[in-house]
Amino acid sequence: MAFVQLENGEMHYQIDGPANAPVLVMSNSLGTDLHMWDAQVPALSKSFRVVRYDTRGHGKSLVTQGPYTIEQLGRDVLALLDALKIKQAHFCGLSMGGLIGQWLGIHANDRLHKLILCNTAAKIGGPEMWDPRIKMVEEGGEQAMKELGAGAVGRWFTPDFARDHADKVTPVTDVLASTSSLGYAACCAAVRDADFRKQLHTITVPTLMICGSHDAVTTVADGHFIQNHIAGCQLSDYYAAHLSNVELGEVFTLRVTEFLLS
């Protein structure tokens, strides 16, 4: 396992692919870890140096007192790039990872080649959505996380995929169930407070938006909003729910590869 030292703890990361290949950073969603990208890495690492990491509060990375902000999580990415001596990279983030990607596109445009935003929005809900969940997790701890893990199947996957692919669904929801309640609640606050609707137009790097037609969390309409506010942004939507990369597998990987190599 590899770690980079941040100011107040260690960030866990993993690298796959040739050392001299273009770098692709992949950022996980809320309640998952770097393994959410396992299906993509074998193919992507043939053309790219894939850098995956566990977002602060998740996986094996540092868990610090919250609440966090998307700026803080974005600066963690910049610290990782600096530690690995990477001047520029492609970035692919899903949901919370997509918010981090938007922050980077707005505030660290010079560090990016291309940007892929998946199953995300310029603003994902508000206090009425997030505050009850934060309260539940802060008060319920590990038991609350287990309940969230059990309930995530319906939000993260279409019913037919969940029914037919338990081998792919269960490992992901198990990660949510075992995520630090402190880290999860702190990241919920970061997602709650992020709002890039008035700043999207400042993103100038080539951008791809990937949506799931059955994603009730971040809808296709949210994706079109992003597309309409970033010049030249491409949009692809597929039959999938919130974790489109897990559900789509090779189809997702091929679209990402096509965009990055075009």
Domain parsing of the chain, residue ranges: 2-261
| Residue 150 confidence (pLDDT) | 86
Q: Which tens digits make up the pLDDT trace of 123-162?
A: 999 999 999 999 999 999 999 999 998 889 999 999 999 9
Contact 106, 196 (CB under 8 A): yes
Q: Which tens digits make up the pLDDT trace of 80-130?
A: 999 999 999 999 999 999 999 999 999 999 999 999 999 999 999 999 999
Q: Is 24 exposed, middle or buried (0-12, 13-18, 19+ CB in 10 A)?
A: buried
| pLDDT value at 1 more than 90 | no
pTM score:
0.97
| Residue 236 confidence (pLDDT) | 98
Size of the chain in residues: 262
Select from 3.60.21.10, 3.40.50.1820, 3.40.630.10, 3.30.360.10 the CATH code of 2-261. Answer: 3.40.50.1820
Instruction: Pinpoint the alpha helices (H) of the chain.
Output: 41-44, 70-83, 96-107, 127-156, 159-164, 166-178, 181-193, 220-229, 244-248, 250-261
Contact 6, 76 (CB under 8 A): yes
The percentage of the chain sitting over the pLDDT mark of 70, rounded to a whole number, equals 100
